[in-house]
Amino acid sequence: MPPVKVLLVQWDINTTYATKRATRTEIEEVFAGRPIVRRNLRGRVATHLAFGVTDAGRKLAVAFIYLAETNTAYPITAWEQS
């Protein structure tokens, strides 16, 4: 599997759900801060998971759909890591 390189975070109709537990800015900070990215479990809506830290130091996990052709992430949801 080639490395995941997110160059664009695309927001769409899922923005309200994706930002229930983290702000839009926090999610974008995770992607900007070189997160650890893993493939998600097969059969899930989100294809990948990103684990990173916001500028304020909050540890977040972000589930997202990744489109390799455009290096785009579509956030599905995010939550604070314990």
Structure confidence at residue 30 (pLDDT): 97
Res. 81: pLDDT tops 70: yes
Query: Using one digit for the tens of pLDDT, what is the confidence trace for 44-72?
Result: 999 999 999 999 999 999 999 999 999 99
* CA separation for the pair 38, 3 (Å, rounded): 10
pTM of the model: 0.93
Q: Which helix (H) or strand (E) holds 24?
A: helix 24-32
Res. 2: pLDDT tops 80: no
- In the β-sheet with 48-53, what is the strand arrangement from edge to edge? 8-9, 72-80, 59-67, 48-53, 36-39
Res. 13: pLDDT tops 90: no
